[in-house]
Structure 1
């Protein structure tokens, strides 16, 4: 359990950091899209005898590339292109999963198996997650500038398009890591909820990162303990704790919470 908790906290912090960028850019659909797009790569990697993480990463990047390649070449909006791409990948993955005789339980891929995570999977998480986290933190100022002010980014010599593709690729790798903890079905929650909590609690981006990562780590630790003692689904419990923290932040955040806004309106009226 303690090993699972440590791995889970690392994964949740990585997701929380990416979550801040996803929330600021309004990319909630991206996390959902990539979490489903990795499924065909996982099945193909299993059939080929390769590490599942390699197939998942290749499939996620292919989905991003296809959607990005079509963007700007059609009147269809980017979110629709991404939706078409990920649903197509998901359909292919489901067909392959049903058609492939397997000694592994693909339901663990869909819903996670954090308490039963193996050493090989932990090594894969670290091999993918540590470089991804390092790149995000090293490039965070450029990524934030490209998200808020693309014109200014171009003026100083940055390419918003390339930075957007970099962020999409990093999100794909993060999905690959996160599916080890909560599975494909719940990855979206880990890529959206912490950033929303940080947005409610902080005004500056660095503080938003700290708030998001702290809430995600706490939710993972508490969710893992609760699922262990209650013999429940670990990934679902972690996501439930995160959702509860979001509700608390939504109601009681010092400046952006619902109660704080009501008090401010009441003071203005008086």
Structure 2
């Protein structure tokens, strides 16, 4: 997901510091990246963790502490709390989906249990979560639009790239928009197989297999479970960095 930034000025005095140059490099990397796969999403989460680790180091420098006003500190605390909330929402939703996938895999391996019921339960969960994802993305876009005219310092830029990443993450977990179209025109599957595979992600592939009632491939379920685990690990590491970041901000007070 591409994000535009309108940076008019950088009022934060520490931009001359070597640590600030490292932060600028990380911001550039995050702005230029695109989330087209689970690996790139996970890499961006890792980059975002590195960014907040660097920001935390900047805050710990006494010269920087003097440059932060009370209003800035409150904004940083509020922003970091919102990001932590997004991490927790994503982790809880991923855990819920993984639990359903593990139950379905167990039934397939043991060849016992009500597979149809578990698949319907998983799809119902996915339907509910997709609505939640769409609401989160909509709220993020609204918040982003309100702040788009503001002059962004280094912390403002960090917040913008973070919002962009979470928009990508929740859209990714929703699955490709092509999924709904493909489930309605399943008769075209064989003709357009290559096109679909190019557009689909791990979530979409499993959604389609369940919706079309085709033979379930346990390998695809395992791939999705592994994808979810990677995302969970990335979010957990980011959460820890954010907590450390918040502690440093609070120490200024």
TM range (shorter): 0.3 to 0.5
TM-score (norm. length: structure 2): 0.32
Whose Rg is larger? 2
TM-score (norm. length: structure 1): 0.31
